[in-house]
Amino acid sequence: MKKWLLPILLLLPSIGFAGDKLDSGDTAWMMVASAFVLLMTPAGLALFYGGMTRSKNILNTYLMVFAAFAVAMVVWVIAGYSIAFGDGGSMQKVIGGFGNTFLNGIKWSDLSGTYPTYVFVIFQGTFAAITVAIASGSAIERMKFSTWLVFVALWTVVVYAPVAHMVWGGEGAFLFDAGTLDFAGGTVVHMNGGLAGLVLAVLLGKRKGYPKTAMKPSSIILTALGSALLWFGWFGFNAGSAFGAGTISGLAFFTTTLAPAAAALTWLFIEYIVFKKMTLLGAASGVVAGLVAITPAAGFVDVTGALIVGIVGSVIGFFGVAVLKKKLGYDDSLDAFGVHFLAGLWGALATGFLALNDKNLLWDGPLKASGDRLGQVLVQLESIVVVGLFTLIGTVIVYYISSILTGGAKVDEETETIGLDEAVHGETGFNL
């Protein structure tokens, strides 16, 4: 049995299937789930970010997300998938090797559990794409587009794929063997992408005029629409990570509705206490914070757990956006770190505290093996530290390589003043 199949096959008894036999229901659901997650990036995240940026940079912001999806998906098929889910041999702890580059050795008729392997490849590819796209939110309005394209290609294989392997790569992979519980990407996607964003923000430096110059969003309506599309797509993100249409996917579907709803209300409540106003931008931000927080726990917690994860995730996200960024002074343009990293970290840790002690739900770990909840919390903490260090170091290396290859990473002052839409792309988002 291929090692990358293990996480999938662990789920099959609780879903009601066993062995490599095609199931049309699972196949249909996984294709739909993949399409949902695809929608999250070039539509949902692009609109969410685009609406928050200034009007002179809205197209560049949208294109950074749109292009990230295209580049990451191609690179994923070429090498990323193999590094994440292949057999790494002596390097299995960290990477899956290069035996499946260009999907070598995988036939169109091969199965991953109860659905085609090609569907699994695309499903996981959409995760890789949105992860690196998240990082763009910290670098918009000042990063060269050419540097961004190179960064996306390198970061997907150098940082994302090894992290995905360590957590989800099956028997022999470092954090998988440790018993890390990450249902759909708290560490792999949100901590990873959010921390990469912070690294970019610090290395690029601040935007001209930040923080003294007012930098108003171009369209909060677009951001709210993006938030709604993200919420819709997240059902594929989380419920699809059950790898089949069954009771666990139903649980993830439920928690992915409840947690962000509670988070949105929490953000509005905090806004009213602090600013005496409730805003649409706040509601949209709360939804995303709740979605991020519930992602690692979506298939492991009950109603109470989902509410706690969503509410606390919103509080932490608000703190990251309204307090931490100002205190530390970094220019995280669209708060990728404040929302994705911090809420993702909370969700990863909360999974250890709140996951149901139910062997039909849990994949692995001390909680499943012996009911050791403290042990599970420590494993979750270990995964946070390992992913954090790996992402930090890897992102710094990729940034400098990308910068050297493109003659510097930051646009010149004139381009930044004019706006990247006209100066770089020769088009504008709004004809006023």
Place of tokens 């931000």: 285
In the chain, which stretches have pLDDT less than 50? 1, 3-4, 6, 8-18
Residue-range domain boundaries for the chain: 3-425
**CB 58 within 8 Å of CB 421:** yes
| 216: Cβ contacts below 8 Å, ≥ 6 apart | 54
Number of residues that make up the chain: 432
At 10 the pLDDT is 43
The pTM score is 0.94
Within 10 angstroms of residue 399's Cβ, the number of other Cβ atoms is 24
**CB 140 within 8 Å of CB 334:** yes
∠ CA(271), CA(272), CA(273), 5° rounding? 90
SS3 content of the chain, % helix, strand, coil (to 5): 75, 0, 25
- How is domain 3-425 classified at the architecture level of CATH? Orthogonal Bundle (1.10)
Strand partners, 112: 115
> H or E segment at 217?
none
Which amino acid, residue 255? T
Strand partners, 143: 410
The per-residue pLDDT of the chain, averaged, comes to 94
Within 10 angstroms of residue 373's Cβ, the number of other Cβ atoms is 16
User: Percentage of the chain with pLDDT > 90?
Assistant: 94
